[in-house]
Chain A
Amino acid sequence: MSESAASSEFEDAFHKAAERHERVWVFVAVLMLTLLLAGTMFLVVYAYGVVVRTAGFRRDPAAIEAPEGSIAKTGPNAYTVTIVARLWRWSPSPLRIPKGATVTFRVTSADVLHGFAIQGTTVNVTAVPGITGSVSYTFNRSGTFNIVCNEYCGLEHQGMLGRIVVEGDPA
């Protein structure tokens, strides 16, 4: 009998402490999530270029407007290029740009879904048939970047690789 009394005393004490800690925990959790949210929002505003924006819709995915695959110079060291994804290649590729250039990629697909990811950067856009998405990115490092298709697109999906060559002062 005394053993069960002791155990219910233990239960009561544990329960009281638990309820106190519970309130603290919920408060801390909410605070933590709020701070995290503020942090992400700040980063997003700070690096707004990588946010995908919409650059157009078309009814027929295959009807890509010309000129396709050319780079247009839009500022001192700024360029715009339309990237078209097709089973199973990127056009244009390889793409040559000078170091320090800010490139706006207008990405779309002419057939199925593809994913336009540039390895080692934050550029990551879904290539949707019928919609053109756009992101900007500044290449501050010279070298070769791989374009990797990261949305399943059929048998040769793994081989749908492209290249961006950032040419800079060799120093």
Chain B
Amino acid sequence: MSATAFPTVLPASIDAPADALAPQRRTMLAFLVWGFSALMIGAMIGPLQALNYGGVNAYPSLTPLLKTYYQGLTIHGVLNAYIFTFFVTCGLLVYLPARELGLMPNMALWRGCFAAMALGTLMLLVAMFDNSSSVLWTFYPPLKGSAWFYLGMTLVVAGSLMPLPILLDLRARWKARRPGEITPLVTYMSLTTMLMWALAGGGALIELVVQLNPWALGFTDTVDPIVARTLFWWTGHPIVYFWLMPAYVSWYGLLSKQIGGKLVSDPMARLSFALLLIFSLPVGSHHQFTDPGFSPIWRGILTALTLSVALPSLITAFTIGLSLEYAGRLRGGRGFIGWFTALPWRDPSVAAQVLAMLTFIFGGAGGIVNGSWELNNIVHNTTWVPGHFHITVGTASALTFMGVAFWMLPHLTGQRLLSRRLALASAWLWFTGMSVFALGMHWAGLHGVPRRAWVSMLPRSVYDRVYGDAHLALILVAVGGCILWLATIAFYTVFLGSLATRRLDRRPAIPFAQAFGGRESYALDGGAPVGVVAHPSVSKLARALEHLGLITAFTALATAAAYVPIFWPFLQNATAAHGWKVW
């Protein structure tokens, strides 16, 4: 099998109105390249942090570039968690729906989204690399960075909301053409994600615009730390679903086609997205289980809601699992796990995404621990927590995005992937490295090793006295980090190399999946648009879930109801804290 044969090659005629689609492809490519460039910088720094926990302090030798561990950690967190994910997502969630519906998105808005976030990124880079803003990606005041940092962050967050109007407009135009039909699946999932994010982004935007920007610019002297922290987590919890839902879009909407099967249940995909929208919003303050200032009763309610958010992910595990099984059996896989080994593992895009899912099973289980209040006390702010989110956003999302890049780069550029084997190797190395790393981080966390700590800077005797019990675990962290370095190098060789390879004869199409009972579902560009359509016998659920406006309004109300009792005591008892620059 040659590298050009995956994932699905459609006749070259798909390119018929080639010029009409070229701007969309170019813009999508810009989002992809900018996002992955951010990850490249972030991922080069990550292993240094892993070595730190293993007791190796590489920072003194990096002084001209990185002055401290905390400066590097700020760059790692901001570039990986915001810039990488936002760019990939704001590209994909416009490009895929537009192509699914066969409509042109509002290009001015989409390019504006790119420009706002790119400018924001540059401002953040200035503020982080001059070490004026080593406040970490959570930027909790009263730690005070430079105004460039907060203004850049404001632009990035505001920009990331711009796909919402684009999607609303696309869907409205499609509905006008095909009255009474159900929104095609990928568009439905993308729009639900952006609606969720629009409600979620409010917290960070208010924090930045009302509190931090005026403070950093010198218009106000003080800031209320607990109000800022609570506003941050209003966004900071649902952001994990903003990281995850685009990966689900690929798993539900594309992967079943890539593995030669079908999506087993279209309505379940819709249901899990609607539930994610509802449940992810009101529960942000579960990140504040250990904070004083609000009532224990609310903490109990938050625990209940937090556990409910596991439901849509459990549904996803089931539906996607069945879709994999269906494809595996079609491919001749037999027996209890034969279907799994029969999947097209030679396709790096498939391998990366299936490995990402495997990791996510463990990530989900760990998340349930974090959400349970009592257990949270043991793991809160230990290395358990970064251990957890490196197998969720750092693998379930990041590795899925890498897998998407493996088919999307050839699709966008019309050039072949540099090397299928190297791409496969990078996926397996990432999976292995993250597994070892995360095992070590979780385990060290149970020994009380704190996250965000330059422990390799401590005198050896102190390091051994306080963290000696976790020694083996911390070695795993360092080893995992080194494997991840190899993974990163392999991946970027493929990613950057593929921008300069020879041209393909035909451009691979977007692998839109077909649902059971649904119609053939790839977009026929320029012609009649056809989406993934629900199975006729179960579409009642899908039809009910079309009322996204109502669902969003309900969620907004529930979120308001959850936050009023939390903010109330804080607003009654304001604190005026001065800024500190202590790094």
Q: Which of A39-47, A65-73, A76-84, A94-102 contacts B (4 or more CB under 8 A)?
A: A39-47
Q: Are B381 and A115 in contact, with the CB atoms below 8 A?
A: yes
Least CB distance, A135 to chain B, in whole angstroms = 9
Q: Is A22 in contact with B318, judged by CB distance below 8 angstroms? A: yes
Q: Are B291 and A128 in contact (CB under 8 A)?
A: yes
Interface size on A, residues (CB 8 A): 67
- Residues 332-390 (chain B) with a chain A CB within 8 angstroms: 368, 372-375, 377-378, 380-382
Residues of A within 8 A of B562 (CB): none
Q: Which of B299-354 contact A (CB under 8 A)?
A: 299-300, 303-304, 307-308, 310-311, 314-315, 318-319, 322, 326, 329-330
**A76–chain B nearest beta-carbon distance, Å:** 26
Report B576 CB to chain A, min CB distance, Å. Answer: 6
Checking A25, A58, A59, A161 against B318 with a beta-carbon cut-off of 8 angstroms, the contacting residue is A25
Which residues does chain B contribute within 8 Å of A15, judged by CB atoms?
264, 516-517, 535
**Quick check: is B457 within 8 A (CB to CB) of the other chain?**
yes
Which residue from chain B places its CB closest to the CB of A144 in the assembled complex? B465
* Contact flags B1-37 to A (C-beta < 8 A → 1, else 0): 0000000000000000000000000000000000000
Instruction: Report whether A158 and B300 are in contact in the complex, using a CB–CB cutoff of 8 Å.
Output: no
Contact at A19–B582, with CB atoms within 8 Å? no
Asked if B54 is at the interface (CB within 8 A of a chain A CB), the reply is no
Set of chain B residues within 8 Å of A41, measured between Cβ atoms: 300, 303
* A residues in contact with B143, CB < 8 Å: 112-113, 152-154
Task: State whether the Cβ of B206 lies closer than 8 Å to any Cβ in chain A.
Answer: no
Number of A-B contacts (CB under 8 A): 208
Complex contacts, A134 vs chain B, CB 8 Å: 292
The smallest beta-carbon distance between A57 and chain B, in angstroms, is: 3
CB within 8 Å for A128 and B296 given contacts A22-B318, A57-B575:
no
Chain A: minimal CB distance from B380 (Å): 5
Would A55 and B292 count as touching, CB distance under 8 A? yes
Classify the interface of chain A: helix, strand, loop or mixed: mixed
Given the known interface contacts A11-B516, A132-B292, the answer about A47 and B374 at a Cβ–Cβ threshold of 8 Å is yes
Contact among A25, A54, A148, A159 with B569 in the assembled complex (CB-CB below 8 Å): A54
Most central of B143, B455, B569, B575 by chain A CB within 10 Å: B575
Q: Report yes or no: B583 in contact with A154, Cβ–Cβ below 8 A.
A: yes
User: In the complex where A25-B318, A131-B226, A133-B293 touch, is A150 in contact with B575 (Cβ < 8 A)?
Assistant: no
B454 interface hit (Cβ, 8 Å): yes
Interface residues of B in 61-94 (CB under 8 A from A): 68, 70
Do B577 and A130 touch (CB < 8 A)? yes
Chain A residues near B574: list those with CB within 8 A.
59
Shortest distance between the CB of B563 and any CB in chain A (Å): 17
Q: Determine the distance from Cα of A88 to Cα of B86 in the docked complex, in whole angstroms.
A: 35
Neighbour of A158 across the interface among B447, B455, B580, CB < 8 A: B455
The CA-CA distance from A61 to B578 in the complex, in Å, is 9
User: Interface code B556-583, partner A: CB below 8 Å = 1, 0 otherwise?
Assistant: 0000000000000100011111001011
Give the contacts of B115-141 with A (CB-CB under 8 A). Answer: 136, 140
Residue of B70, B288, B517 near A126 (CB, 8 A) is: B288
Alpha-carbon separation in the docked complex, A26 to B308 (Å): 12
Shortest Cβ distance from residue B144 to the other chain A in the assembled complex, whole angstroms? 9
- Inter-chain contact B453/A157, CB cutoff 8 Å: yes
Residue-by-residue, is A1-21 near B (CB-CB < 8 Å gives 1, otherwise 0)? 000000100110011001101
How many angstroms from the CA of A122 to the CA of B379 in the assembled complex?
Answer: 9
Residues of B within 8 A of A (CB): 68, 70, 136, 140, 142-143, 224-226, 229, 262, 264-265, 268, 288-294, 296, 299-300, 303-304, 307-308, 310-311, 314-315, 318-319, 322, 326, 329-330, 368, 372-375, 377-378, 380-382, 447-448, 450-455, 457-458, 462, 465-466, 516-517, 535, 538, 569, 573-577, 580, 582-583
- The 3 A-B residue pairs with the shortest CB-CB distance in the complex, in nearest-first order: A133-B292, A130-B575, A154-B582
Other A-B pairs beyond A117-B448, A119-B466, A152-B143, 15, CB < 8 Å: A14-B329, A18-B265, A40-B307, A124-B378, A125-B290, A125-B292, A128-B292, A129-B142, A129-B577, A130-B576, A148-B466, A152-B70, A154-B583, A157-B454, A161-B466
Q: List 8 A-B contacts (CB under 8 A).
A: A22-B268, A44-B300, A133-B291, A133-B293, A148-B448, A150-B450, A150-B453, A154-B580
